[in-house]
Amino acid sequence: MKSGNLGFGLMRLPQRSADPTDIDTEQLNNMVDAFLQAGFTYFDTSWAYHNGSSEAAIRECLVKRHPRGSFLLASKLPTFAITKESEVEETFRLQLDRCGVDYFDYYLLHNVNSMRYRQIIRETHMFDYMKKWKEEGKIRHIAFSFHDTADVLDQILTEHPEVEAVQIVVNYFDWNACLVQSKACYDVIRSHGKQVIIMEPVKGGMLAKAPDDVQKLLQTEHPDWSPAAWALRFAGSLDGVLQASMAQLMQVNGVGENAARMLKVVAAVCQSCGQGLWKDRRPVLASTIERGEYLRTRLLGSAQERLLLLNLDAANTLICCEELGSGSLAQVSVGAGEVAQFCVRRGFERVILAHNHPSGLDCPSREDVAMTRKLQDLLQDLGVFLVDHFVITDRAFYSMKDHGLF
C-alpha cells in the first residue's frame, strides 16, 4: 500500500465539551473518511492523547469502519508512565486492545530524551521488547518520538540500528531554534539512513495564522498560498520524510511546485521570526508535549527554582503566565493557599503550575506532590481546575497529571 506523506495526528480531536475525553465521534468519522478519500493513510495516536481516549476513538472511527489494509496505524509506548519492566508488555497489549488491531504499522517509544533513555528505556529493555514484537508480527516498524539534543539522538541511533524511523518537531519556525534543534536532529536522522516522521509542521496551528508582516513576506512569492500551506510544504519538501511523495501533498490546496523558491521565502520568514514578529501570539497548549515544551522555553537556563502559574481559556489558549516565586519549592514563599487565593483574585478558571529543577532531575519530590494535592483540593472547592503541574529541566519535562500523582 502506498500513501502520501501527510499524516492524521490524533492529539487534538474535536470535542463536544471541555472534557478532553468527550470526543466528537461523528465529526471524527467525517474527518477520517475525508482523509482516506484524499488518498492519505497514516494515522498517529498515543496512549496519552485525550487523557487516554484517543486510541479508543480511532478504534471506533477508523478500525471498525475501514478495512485494516486500507490504512497505516501508529501508536506509542508511554515511556513517561512506565515504572517497571513488567508494565512494558502489559501496556503494549492493552494498546492493541484499545485500538482494536492485531498489529501496529509503526510503534514508537513516546517522548524519548536523555534521562528517560538512561533511566527507563534501558532499564526496562524497551527496545528488546520492540524487536520481539516485530518478530511476532505485532509491529511492522520500530520508531520513537524524540525531544532532546542532536548529540543524544545520534547516540541512541548508533546504539540501536534496529530503529527505522524517528518522529521529531519540524517546522520553519523551529528549524534553527537552539532549544528544539529541528535541523540538527533532522540531519542526524538522515545521516543514519532512517525515515523522518514530522510532528508539529504547523506548530500546533500557530503557523496557520501568520501575523500581517509575515503574511506579506509569504504573499510576495505566491499570493494564493495560505500560511498553513507554506508550513506544510516546508515539511513536505524535505528528503526522507515518511512515505515521501510530493505528488500527493501537492494536491492539498496551496501546496505545490518549486521548493527552491519556497525555501528562499521561508528563510526570510525565519529571519523575521527571530526579530519577534510572533512575540505577541498566544500559544494554544492543548497537549502535554505543547505545555511541557512551552514551559521549558520559559524556564531554560534558570539557576534557581522558579514557580510559574499559567492561566488557560476553555480552548487551551494561554491567557497569561505569572511568576509566583523563586528558590526551592519547599522554600518559596508561596504556599498552596496563596496560589489558590491568587487564582481567585485574578479570576483564573483553568491553571497549570510549573517549577524547574536546575539539578536536572525531572521528577517531583514528595513535597512537590503533597503541595500539588493540597492545591488541587483548594482549587476544586473554589471552582478552579488544576490542569497539571510540571517539573521542568533544561532537557525534559515531567507531567504529574500524566503520571497519576493527583
23 and 138: one domain? yes
CA distances from 296 to 24, 67, 356, 396, 405 (A): 31, 41, 8, 8, 21
171 and 234: one domain? yes
Query: Do the domain assignments include residue 406?
Result: no
List pLDDT tens digits, range 249-277: 344 344 344 444 555 566 556 555 544 44
- C-alpha–C-alpha distance, residues 166 and 190, integer Å: 10
59 and 162: one domain? yes
341 and 364: one domain? yes
List pLDDT tens digits, range 35-82: 999 999 999 999 988 888 999 999 999 999 999 999 999 999 998 888
At 132, the amino acid letter reads: K
Q: What is the CATH number of the domain that holds 161?
A: 3.20.20.100
- C-alpha–C-alpha distance, residues 318 and 180, integer Å: 20
**Domain extent at residue 347:** 288-399
Give the residue from 274, 306, 337 where a domain finishes: 274
Give the residue from 247, 274, 301 where a domain finishes: 274
Query: Do the domain assignments include residue 361?
Result: yes
30 and 179: one domain? yes
Task: With both helix axes pointing from N to C terminus, report the angle between 126-135 and 86-99 in degrees, rounded to the nearest 10.
Answer: 50
122 and 43: one domain? yes
Task: Give the contacts of 87 (CB within 8 A, at least 6 positions apart).
Answer: 81, 124
25 and 69: one domain? yes
Q: Which residue has the cell 488541587?
A: 376
237 and 313: one domain? no
Residue 253 carries which DSSP code? Answer: T
Query: Do the domain assignments include residue 283?
Result: no
Q: What is the CATH number of the domain that holds 333?
A: 3.40.140.10
126 and 181: one domain? yes
Characterize the bridge pairing of strands 72-78 and 42-44.
parallel
**Nearest to 203, CA basis, from 180, 178, 224, 223:** 180
How many structural domains comprise the chain?
2
Q: Could you count the other beta carbons within 10 Å of the beta carbon of residue 292?
A: 24
Query: Do the domain assignments include residue 144?
Result: yes
State the burial class of residue 13 (Cβ atoms within 10 Å of its Cβ: 0-12, 13-18, 19+). buried
C-alpha cell at 327: 528558590
Give the residue from 274, 308, 331 where a domain finishes: 274
230 and 337: one domain? no
Q: Which residue has the cell 528488546?
A: 128
11 and 143: one domain? yes
Query: Do the domain assignments include residue 304?
Result: yes
Residue 49 carries which DSSP code? Answer: G
- C-alpha–C-alpha distance, residues 82 and 88, integer Å: 7
170 and 244: one domain? yes
Query: Do the domain assignments include residue 281?
Result: no
Q: What is the pLDDT along the chain (406 residues), one digit of tens a residue?
A: 444 578 899 988 999 987 888 999 999 999 999 999 999 999 999 998 888 899 999 999 999 999 999 999 999 999 888 889 999 999 999 999 999 999 999 999 998 988 789 889 999 999 999 999 999 999 999 999 998 889 999 999 999 999 999 999 888 877 876 667 888 999 999 999 999 999 888 876 777 777 677 777 777 777 888 888 888 888 877 777 764 333 443 443 443 444 445 555 665 565 555 444 444 557 788 888 888 888 887 887 677 788 899 999 988 888 888 888 776 544 445 688 889 988 988 889 999 999 988 877 878 888 888 899 999 999 998 999 999 999 988 777 889 998 888 8
